[in-house]
Amino acid sequence: MTHTSLHRAARSTQPPSALSCDVAAELCRYDEHLRDVRGLATGTRHQRALIVGRLLQRKFADRPIDIARLHPEDIRWFLADQLNVRQTPSNASKLASALRSYFRYRTTCGDQVGELTAVITNPVHWKLASLPRALKPDEAERLLQSFKTVRRSPKRGYAIVRCALDMGLRVGEIARLMIRDVDWHAGTVTLRGTKSLRQDILPLPMETGQALADYLQHERPHSSNPAIFLRCQGGRDQPITSMAIQKLIKRAGHRIGLMHFSAHALRHTLACRLVENGSSLKEVADVLRHRSLETTRIYAKLDTPKLSAVPLPWPGSGS
């Protein structure tokens, strides 16, 4: 593979600065590992490659990559330098996760990296500290109703939010929905190429199905493109992107006064609603398609104010 083609292949994962040929090739191999073996989403792979690329470019800009030449002090200096740019627990967690992930990959290549991973410490980060707040029922309703005032593609936006709010679909899963994935007779939706690298068949709620049908029949452009959600770009109908869906949902939140709002809050809202209605964590995990019940515990944790409302027996009382 030529130097030019290596850079082209790594374009989606390389850091902003120019990469050496060896670093670009290494990032391509690492990205393939994350995609094919670990099953990580594009955004996660991109973020990790950005961080790893900075480390490798700093150490191996003018030489072949040899992990044996990396020393614990190199990792300490790199982490300190990166944290000087942005000193937040979130950034520290991302740096630690990316480097640990890369060194796990290098272990599969036969490298001894124990001394390197030993200096990577995780910052104190309380669980649920950054958990998005679940929408209250009236907020969810106002969010949906806000699309009545939207001039451009209101039915598309409404259907997208219903997919996230009623079914817990991730933005990438919504973007990849194809017309063939909806079985109107069976009332199901098939998800392909999900985060867990499997095919899932989910029930289609009535209100979600009605929103999809309304969009498909009355607003979606007549196009041979198989994607459900389209947008016009460069005079052509293109499948909507995950980023466009994130922006669409964020703008909807802003319309009703939710300034710190993300698409992920809709999945969390569904999880909380299921728990409040008596669903078990296993049932919530199945709906959200989590690979780990621990993830579900984080998403579906009840708010502290609700827990404080539960009366506890007074110490020493007979109850």
Q: DSSP labels for 12-46?
A: TTS-SS---HHHHHHHHHHHHHHHHTS---HHHHH
Domain boundaries, the chain: 3-117, 137-303
Residue 257: which region, alpha, beta or left (left: phi > 0; alpha: psi -120 to 50)?
A: left
- In what side-by-side order are the strands of the sheet with 188-191? 182-183, 188-191, 200-203
Q: What is the pLDDT of residue 185?
A: 95
Q: What's the CA gap between 193 and 1, in Å, rounded?
A: 28
Q: What is the pLDDT of residue 304?
A: 42
Structure tokens at 50: 């950005």
- In 3D space, the residue among 269, 13, 31 whose CA is nearest the CA of residue 135 turns out to be 269
Query: Cβ contacts of residue 183 below 8 Å, gap of 6+?
Result: 189, 190, 204
Q: What is the pLDDT of residue 207?
A: 96
Q: What is the pLDDT of residue 67?
A: 94
Q: Tens place of pLDDT for every residue, the chain, 319 residues?
A: 444 433 443 444 444 457 889 999 999 999 999 999 988 888 889 999 999 999 999 999 889 999 999 999 999 999 999 988 887 877 888 899 999 999 999 999 999 999 999 999 766 555 555 556 789 999 999 999 999 999 999 999 999 999 999 999 999 999 999 999 999 999 999 998 665 556 889 999 999 999 999 999 999 999 999 999 999 887 788 999 999 999 999 999 999 999 888 898 998 899 888 878 887 777 777 887 776 555 566 554 554 444 444 444 555 544 4
| Fold type of domain 137-303 | hpI Integrase; Chain A (1.10.443)
Q: Give SS3 for 303.
A: coil
Q: What is the pLDDT of residue 123?
A: 63
Q: What is the pLDDT of residue 295?
A: 58
C-alpha separations of 101 from 121, 130, 209 in Å: 13, 22, 40
Q: What's the CA gap between 137 and 31, in Å, rounded?
A: 41
Contact of 256 with 142, CB cutoff 8 Å: yes
Q: Which residues pair with residue 201 across a beta bridge?
A: 190
Q: What is the pLDDT of residue 10?
A: 42
The pTM assigned to this predicted structure is: 0.61
Q: What's the CA gap between 120 and 122, in Å, rounded?
A: 7
Q: What is the pLDDT of residue 101?
A: 95
- Residue 68 burial (10 A CB sphere; 0-12, 13-18, 19+): exposed
Structure tokens at 176: 């990849």
